[in-house]
Structure 1
Amino acid sequence: MALDSKDVSRIANLARLELKPAEEAAMLQQLNGFFSIVEQMSAVDTSGIEPLYTPLSAVQEVALRLRDDTVTETDGRAANQRSAPAVEDGLFLVPKVIEG
């Protein structure tokens, strides 16, 4: 996917950047270089390869430091909603703010 100067101008406009012609040409070259690398990476067959959860696991064994999935806090919904002006079925009721 190669970009042209029109694409770079549009991207710069969306990013609220004002590029000089020389800067636009340099940006065009950099963006096309980036997309070239992405195309090369997309061409690699990765079927059957497990995703890495960390790049370090490619070179060494890494133990995951995960905590147990247990409830550690009590349900404070009722206490939190006690001061609310309007509550229904455990939800805060708020006035409509969008006119339609």
Structure 2
Amino acid sequence: MITKEQVVHIAKLARLKLTEEEIVKFQKDFSSILDYFGILQSLDTKNVEPLTHSVAAENVEREDVEREADPAFSQELVDMAPSQDQGFLQVKEVFGNDK
């Protein structure tokens, strides 16, 4: 069974703040998921062909076409942001060195 400390560590990596109730819930959920993987690992797959893609689909691509941005619409988007500076959106640091 996964430990509470492991759940807290995973939450920290995902930058999530969990309540004690959520930690207990995720501890049970993660343990169930890992138990399921244990069942899958015990299956005999000797005669199963490796599968790299489940369907034979290809990416559908289109040619990039440059188009003019509507300055009024762009400004409207910037104005809706909670924080901005000189027409740029300001966001909290995502990738920090917070050891």
Aligned pairs (5 A) from 1:6-45: 6-45=5-44
Aligned residue pairs: how many? Answer: 57
Structure whose CA Rg is larger: 1
Distance 1:42 1:36 in 2: 10
Which portions of structure 1, spanning 4 or more consecutive aligned residues, are displaced by more than 3 angstroms? none
Structural RMSD (CA): 2.0
Gap runs ≥5 in structure 1: 56-63, 67-100
Unaligned runs of 5+ in 2: 59-99
Per the TM alignment, residue 54 of structure 1 is displaced from its structure 2 partner at its CA by 2.3
3-state secondary structure, aligned to 1:8: helix
1:49 alignment partner, SS class: coil
1-structure distance, mates of 2:34, 2:15: 22
SS at match of 1:27: helix
Q: How many percent of aligned residue pairs carry the same amino acid?
A: 25
CA distance in 2, matches of 1:65, 1:7: 38
Shift of 1:65: 7.5
**In the alignment, is residue 54 of structure 1 matched against residue 54 of structure 2?**
yes
What does residue 82 of structure 1 align with?
Answer: none
TM-score by length of 1: 0.51
Distance 1:45 1:65 in 2: 28
